[in-house]
Amino acid sequence: MCSVGGPMDVEYKERVKGKDYKCKDCGEKFKGVGKHPMCPSCQSENVAEE
Amino acid sequence: MKYSPGDGVLLVQGRSSFLLAAPARERFTLFLEDCQGEIVQSVEPDDLVVVSAPEGGPLEPALLLLRLVRDHHVPLIVLPRGHPGSRRLRHVVSVAPRVLLACGIQRGTHPEQQLICSSDELAGTILHGRDGGVELEHVPPDIDIEILRG
């Protein structure tokens, strides 16, 4: 039986693991996931992992 | 089975629940907000925006939610485990290149975008975003699939 919304919940091992990035153009720091991280402030792809 | 909804939306319809899926179509940043902070997800054009309605209901709110995320990039809010708001949610959203439908999870509490809460009748279905289309795997019998245009 489906338990959505009920007290049961399945724990999944694969969690969102964001990496820490810093935008080289505007200096914004953020935690990102995805193939091509983009700065959330200026949309630049010129970012580096910290 | 592969479907190409183009500008439309794929509807996966069970007896008492349904699911909408559409390619993101463009690159954008999507914010995932939870109690621990904010994660910035970079979305690719082939990634899927999926809205699940585990209890069914009218299509229009689910379509609006899909468009809010896909076209207007509204942030996704993740509730903490055991939050009472989990019971109130009639629709949940995932954005990812591959999405698994699972019925053993609490609505709105999983930040993992490869997983979405569904009814038991759709559980186990896997959606892949490929070449601008939607590929489905492990679709249970007696499920109707159509493309909603416009």
Q: How many C-beta atoms lie closer than 10 Å to residue B104's C-beta? A: 17
What global pTM score does this model have? 0.88
Q: Do B119 and A2 touch (CB under 8 A)?
A: yes
Q: Is the dihedral of CA B78, B84, B89, A2 positive or negative?
A: positive
How far apart are the two ends of chain A, measured CA to CA in Å?
45
Whether the CB of B44 is below 8 Å from some CB of chain A: the reply is yes
In a domain, A3, yes or no: no
In a domain, A10, yes or no: no
Which residue blocks in B12-146 are alpha helix, DSSP H? 59-70
pLDDT, tens digit, 9 for 90 and up, residues B6-35: 889 999 999 999 999 999 999 999 999 988
Q: ipTM greater than 0.85, yes or no?
A: no
Report whether A30 contacts B40 (CB < 8 A): yes
The whole-number average pLDDT for the span B77-95 is 87
Domain positions in chain B: 2-148
Host domain of residue A39: 19-49
Chain B residue with CA closest to A11: the answer is: B105
In a domain, A5, yes or no: no
How far apart are the two ends of chain B, measured CA to CA in Å?
22
Does the pLDDT value for residue B102 go beyond 90?
A: no
Q: How many domains does chain A have?
A: 1
Distance from CA of A33 to the nearest CA of B (A): 5
pLDDT, tens digit, 9 for 90 and up, residues B121-148: 999 999 999 999 999 999 999 899 999 9
The whole-number average pLDDT for the span B41-57 is 94
- pLDDT at site A15: 54
In a domain, A1, yes or no: no
Chain A residue with CA closest to B97: the answer is: A34
In a domain, A39, yes or no: yes
Identify the three-state secondary structure at position A10.
coil
Each residue of A31-40: b (16+ CB within 10 Å) or e? Answer: bbbbeebbbb
pLDDT, tens digit, 9 for 90 and up, residues A28-41: 999 999 999 999 99
In a domain, A12, yes or no: no
Q: How many C-beta atoms lie closer than 10 Å to residue B108's C-beta? A: 22
Whether the CB of B33 is below 8 Å from some CB of chain A: the reply is no
Chain A residue with CA closest to B55: the answer is: A4
Percent of chain A past pLDDT 70, that is, above it, reads 68
- pLDDT at site B147: 96
Residue B135 CA, distance from chain mean position:
14
